[in-house]
Each structure stands twice: as C-alpha cells, then as structure tokens.
Amino acid sequence: MSSTSAECPRDGHGRLVVSSQADATRIAHDPERFSNAVSRHLQIPNGLDGAEHARATRLLAPFFHPPALDELEPRLAQIAGTLVGTLGARPFDAVADLGVLYAVRAQSAWLGWGGVLEDDLVEWVGEHRAAGRSGNPHAAAGAAARFDDIIRVLIAERRGRKLHDLTGLLMSLRWDDGRRISDDEVVSVLRNWTGGDLSSLALCVAAVVHWVATHPGHRVHLAAADDAAMDAAIDEILRLDDPFVSSRRRATADAEVSGCPVQAGETIVLDWRAANRDPEAFADPDAFDPVGHAARNLVYGTGVHACPGRGLATRELRVLLRAVLAAGEIDLAGPVVREEPPLAGFRALPVRVFARG
Ligand code: HEM
C-alpha cells in the first residue's frame, strides 16, 4: 500500500527524500532502475551509468590503489604536523584554519599542484560552500566555472612542460578504445575528485575534531589505536554526524520507494545523513559502536557508485587526527556554528589544542 504524502517527504525542489537506511541501500544497489544521470553536465564517473561507468571506474582505479596512497602518507603527515604546529595553543577555527587548509594542502600534494594554488583553492572552497548555502543555481554555476578555470590553467601548464605528476598522469590516460582522454574529461574527473576531496574532507575534519573535543574519555584509547581501529572510529564518528548530505538518482521506470509512488524520469534524493541515523538500522543511532555499526554505515555510499576516494579520505583524516592527538588536549573555545540545511557540518568550530598538564 502506498504511503500518504505526509509520509513521502520532499525537498525544496519537490524531490522525494529517502531517509531509510535499507531503502537508500536498496536504491544504490539498483543502478538500472535508479540512474546517476541526473545532471546535464559531464560528470566522470558519478554521472555515468552501466558500461560507461564501469569503464571510467576501471580507468581511474589505479589512482586510489593502496600502494600509491602509502607513498603519499609521509607527505600528509608532514602537512598535518606543520599545520597543527603552526596553530599552536591559541584558539582557532577548525573549519577555516584547519579543515580547509589541510584539505587544500593534502589534495595539492596528491595531485602534484604544489602550493601555488593554495589561495585560489581556499577561496574556491568558500565560494562553493556559499553557493550551496544560498541554493542559488547561478552561484553554483559560477563556482563550477571558476573551478574549471583553475583546472584549465593546470592542464595548459602540463601540456607545455610535460609534468609527470598525478595530474599529468591523468591527462595521459587512454580509454579502452585507444582514444586519449580529452581536456573536458580531465576537468570533469578533477571536479568529481575535488568535490570529494576539498569540500567533504574539510567538513569531515571539523566533524572529527568536534567529536574528539567533546568526548575527552575516548582520546587516550584513540591515540593508542592501530590504523584499522582508528579508521573504524573515524567512519563511526562521521556516521554520527555525516557532513556528506545526499546524492541524487533518476528513476528509469515507475516505481515505489519507501511506500511512495515515483514516476519514470523523476529525481529522488538519497539522504545519507538521515540513513546513517535511521533507528530501524541502528537501535541507538547516538551510540558510538565502530564495529557493530560498520556494516550499515553509508558515509561513503554503497553499490557501484560507492566513493572511490574512501581510502584516500580515511588516510588523510587518520593522519590529521593523529597529529591533533599528539599535540595534546583539545577543547571547544567559543560558540559552535552549524551549517543549516540543505548543508550540514560546521560553519565555524572554535577550538584550542594545548599541551597535557
Ligand atoms: C572526505 C570524505 C568523503 C566522503 C564523506 C565522500 C562521500 C561519498 C559518497 C557518499 C559517495 C556516493 C555518491 C553516490 O552514490 O552517488 C561518493 C562518491 C564519490 N566520491 Fe567521495 N567522499 C569523500 C571523499 C572523496 C575523495 C577524497 C575523493 C577523490 C579524491 C572522492 C571522489 C568520489 C567520486 C569520484 C565519487 C563518485 C563515484 C562513482 O559515481 O562511481 N570522494 N563519495
């Protein structure tokens, strides 16, 4: 039996919002009936379906292989250590002064961009976030165009000088039919990666720092945890307060979702944040249970479109959390400002890190 409209919640664009963990999981695992082709922009790989998506995923997978990330880790540790060291004992904003700067520096190290773009990228993260806050499609288009401009300069620089960093490597890829990847495709991939790496990572840093600052009883065993236990703890902290809000799908045929009718062509929203706190899936959604909750955790999505950057993001977060814990105790140092829906996470998070007494 179909639900009433009161039980079929819709967002400001009239799209059905799926908040149940089980339904979000089912839809994410049914890409034939729920397509990722939701945007008119080229989105590699996220906007692709079926064989096209599989071939893009295959092409890009080596960039995320663990040995490649092992090589990056010492550089991440250096970036995190320097950043935390520079912040010292004075109060700072864990979003702007730590999350955004760390995300920009870590991504620049990963992609071989050096430090020259730091100011542009920091400004871009702010612009991108403000566009999301305003809900204004022109602001979002402006931020996307500005990002494209930044990337096209990097591409031109590499074409001229044959730089063999990760961005240069991406530009040299060939599809399985032998065709070289085009500049538009490189921009699209980098936009897809950067959306994950810069914005999400900055927000995840703040979520993790907030949790550690407000759960002093967990600091000692977290600091002593091995990498696997630390990674599980980070996943669980993000489940509790997921800053990655949602993903869209387009129904390819009439369907029923969470008891609500959905017509072919209709766009629906998978609300990862709500699904990660669904009481039907997590008996006590507020409980911190990294092992017990792992199988139903949807922070990085699930199914064929699950986040390929998960290993990179987890490593970046682990390295930073270790640097913060090594620096001493951490406390809130002023009023915390949360983002308002449709965004999530923190807008400002004043904290201070101080040596253990
Ligand atoms: C920092 C924390 C991150 C979170 C919470 C996160 C979360 C997610 C989620 C929930 C999805 C699923 C989207 C869907 O089902 O349509 C996703 C997909 C994706 N993420 Fe991430 N992500 C993060 C970091 C990253 C990083 C570091 C990268 C790359 C550098 C990245 C690249 C991508 C890409 C390319 C996709 C699309 C995959 C596909 O459609 O096949 N993400 N991410």
Segment 292-328, tens digit of pLDDT: 999 999 999 999 999 999 999 999 999 999 999 999 9
Out of 307, 316, 343, give the residue to mutate to test ligand 1, the one with the largest number of ligand atoms within 8 Å of its CB. 307
Tokens for 261? Answer: 């009718």
**162 C-alpha vs ligand 1 centroid, how far in Å?**
29
Residue 155 has pLDDT above 80, yes or no: yes
Residue 3 has pLDDT above 70, yes or no: no
**343 C-alpha vs ligand 1 centroid, how far in Å?**
16
Is residue 342 reached through a cis peptide bond, with omega within 30 degrees of 0 on the bond before it? Answer: yes
Does 28 contact ligand 1 (Cβ within 6 A)? yes
pLDDT at residue 239, as a whole number: 98
pLDDT at residue 4, as a whole number: 54
Please report the atom of ligand 1 found closest to the CA of residue 200. 1
As a CATH number, domain 5-354 is 1.10.630.10
pLDDT at residue 173, as a whole number: 95
Does 307 contact ligand 1 (Cβ within 6 A)? yes
Does 106 contact ligand 1 (Cβ within 6 A)? no
Asked if residues 47 and 191 have their Cβ atoms less than 8 Å apart, the reply is: no
Tokens for 52? Answer: 């096209």
Which class for 30: exposed (0-12), middle (13-18), buried (19 or more C-beta within 10 A)?
Answer: middle
Please report the atom of ligand 1 found closest to the CA of residue 302. 15
Cα distance between residue 51 and residue 46, in whole Å = 13
In b/e form, how buried is each residue of 320-333, taking b as 16+ CB within 10 angstroms? bbbbbbebbebebb
**How far does Cα 229 stand from its chain's mean position?**
21
Residue 2 has pLDDT above 60, yes or no: no
Other CB atoms closer than 10 Å to residue 235's CB: what's the count?
18
Asked if residues 24 and 298 have their Cβ atoms less than 8 Å apart, the reply is: yes
Residue 6 has pLDDT above 70, yes or no: no
Please report the atom of ligand 1 found closest to the CA of residue 201. 1
Does 247 contact ligand 1 (Cβ within 6 A)? yes
Altogether, the residues listed in the chain come to a count of 357
pLDDT at residue 5, as a whole number: 56
Indicate the domain borders of the chain.
5-354
User: At how many degrees (to 10) do helices 183-194 and 101-111 cross?
Assistant: 140
Q: Write the residue with the smallest CA distance to atom 36 of ligand 1.
A: 307
Closest CA to 262 of 38, 39, 50, 34: 34
Please report the atom of ligand 1 found closest to the CA of residue 192. 35
Region 129-138 average pLDDT: 88
Q: Write the residue with the smallest CA distance to atom 41 of ligand 1.
A: 305
Which class for 42: exposed (0-12), middle (13-18), buried (19 or more C-beta within 10 A)?
Answer: middle
Asked if residues 94 and 112 have their Cβ atoms less than 8 Å apart, the reply is: no
Tokens for 339? Answer: 């983002």
Does 301 contact ligand 1 (Cβ within 6 A)? yes
DSSP lists the bridge partners of residue 271 as 246
Q: Write the residue with the smallest CA distance to atom 21 of ligand 1.
A: 307
31 to 64, 169, 253: CA distances (angstroms):
23, 30, 12
Closest CA to 314 of 297, 331, 329: 297
pLDDT at residue 196, as a whole number: 67
CA torsion through residues 214, 220, 224, 225, sign: negative
**300 C-alpha vs ligand 1 centroid, how far in Å?**
6
pLDDT at residue 81, as a whole number: 97
